[in-house]
Structure 1
């Protein structure tokens, strides 16, 4: 008797944007082209959405969308998060001086006030990937404006802020990683300005990305940003796959790669 072929049915759950969010629209088009399936939902609909047991959901949307999706146990497997991986001290431990801000200092909000002056700027970001504010270059005035949120945070008084010297970044690329393999790369920044290109992907950059994601203990899918500084490549930061902009990365490669890996690893297919 022949063994019945195992089929995992994927269902991409994409946030509603009335067709205005290019990243999500282009992804939906790639999914449709590959004869896979997707649905468009508002975040308010996620808590009650019903997913068949045979469906494997993959959630795509903003941070608020993911927060709502996590309230539905049927959607959790399709959110590739990791509080252990997406944090600065993990990046420092994995990549050492291949991480751009390897020499960052982790400080409290109170300590930050003694470091930053009105005459000098620093790059400041949260230790954790909780997006309470976006990492950015700050001076004393900007710190007071933006980080007033810290005073009402449960982590106030803890070393949850990362401070490092400002780097002169020439270009930045987004690399989409699936099962620790690079599936697509594109440039998204040049000379501090948004400048997207799918062709400006040097071979040395590709080799760097392959080396840096090899053997890393990370979710099945994630995004690694790479910066070029003084003619050298560095890991800039990592981001959760589900809420990342893929810019001009090859979405068909992304969809195919992720579905294939999940299909092969699905316990019901063993």
Structure 2
């Protein structure tokens, strides 16, 4: 029977989150290893891989990209580049997405569009990547940024980067939910009227129901994060985006619950598979 082991990035900027993961592993008597990820390195740090353990990874997006590229799709990396895209979420959840009318196109195509200069759009990478942070810009600002990107030949964003863009909405409040096998195991509010707002108690039951109902329709993975919004003047909830649970920010999520439920689910899944 395989046991769970956590591989945790030690030089993670979110040191408090890292320490809570370590504390949870200790409390649950789960082995763990700390690794140093060297910025801009092209190889993975050393850590144990053996037939007696299934590793679960936590760290930066850079670390997860290296795990994904070097190790394929290990069971403890909860990611699939074909499902974790804004285009896929809209195809699957349609009107339940906040930006259901949004489009996916390459950056150059967006630059060539003809919109009023002061029109505000939300833009972000189509992929679940940190090529750039999602943001609201006027069309004039988008064009100016594109021109700088092309001129500077930035490594993370270029003329052919797939961009998701949509109308900008006034969001009243935002929540992050960690989903394991269709159930929300922990949630946090993280933004209110575009300002940071962290709360583990301001989590409406109807918001949780919304997430789990959407999970019965579709899930990009067995384990993932779903961000949900409520817009000003509306009573409905909408999906903003989903993300890889291996490299999320927790805000005020219950990290012990995160470690416990993910570990229990994965242990049951891999051991049932080996016994079948």
What's the TM-score bracket when you normalise by the shorter of the two chains? 0.7 to 0.9
CA shift in 2, pair 1:26/1:163, >3 Å: same
CA shift in 2, pair 1:71/1:115, >3 Å: same
Give the corresponding residue for 1:172.
Answer: 174
After TM superposition, give the deviation of residue 255 of structure 1 in Å. 1.7
Is residue 126–residue 160 contact of structure 1 (8 Å, CA) maintained in 2?
yes
Q: Deviations over 1:38-78 (max 9, x none)?
A: 22110248443232221110110111122333455398332
Farther-moved stretch of structure 1 (171-180 vs 242-251): 242-251
**Structure 1, unpaired ranges of 5+:** 1-5
Q: 2:63 aligns with which of 57, 62, 65?
A: 65
RMSD: 2.7
Give the corresponding residue for 1:221.
Answer: 223
Secondary structure, counterpart of 1:48 in structure 2: coil
CA shift in 2, pair 1:187/1:49, >3 Å: same
Give the corresponding residue for 1:123.
Answer: 122
With structure 1 as the length reference, what TM-score do the two structures score?
0.87
Q: Deviations over 1:85-130 (max 9, x none)?
A: 1111111111111100000123332332234544222111122223
C-alpha distance in 1, partners of 2:147/2:32? Answer: 38
CA shift in 2, pair 1:120/1:196, >3 Å: same
Give the corresponding residue for 2:261.
Answer: 257
C-alpha distance in 1, partners of 2:256/2:58? Answer: 15
After TM superposition, give the deviation of residue 219 of structure 1 in Å. 2.0
Give the corresponding residue for 2:240.
Answer: 236
Give the corresponding residue for 2:189.
Answer: 187
CA shift in 2, pair 1:108/1:19, >3 Å: closer
Aligned counterparts, 1:70-89, within 5 A:
70=68, 72-73=70-71, 76-89=74-87
Give the corresponding residue for 2:34.
Answer: 40
CA shift in 2, pair 1:211/1:53, >3 Å: same
Farther-moved stretch of structure 1 (144-153 vs 126-135): 144-153
Secondary structure, counterpart of 1:89 in structure 2: helix
Residue correspondences, number: 264
Give the corresponding residue for 1:3.
Answer: none
After TM superposition, give the deviation of residue 262 of structure 1 in Å. 1.4
C-alpha distance in 2, partners of 1:126/1:215? Answer: 24
Farther-moved stretch of structure 1 (18-27 vs 235-244): 18-27
Farther-moved stretch of structure 1 (121-130 vs 188-197): 121-130
Aligned counterparts, 1:135-174, within 5 A:
135-139=134-138, 140-145=140-145, 148-149=148-149, 152=153, 160-174=162-176
CA shift in 2, pair 1:80/1:160, >3 Å: same
After TM superposition, give the deviation of residue 168 of structure 1 in Å. 0.5
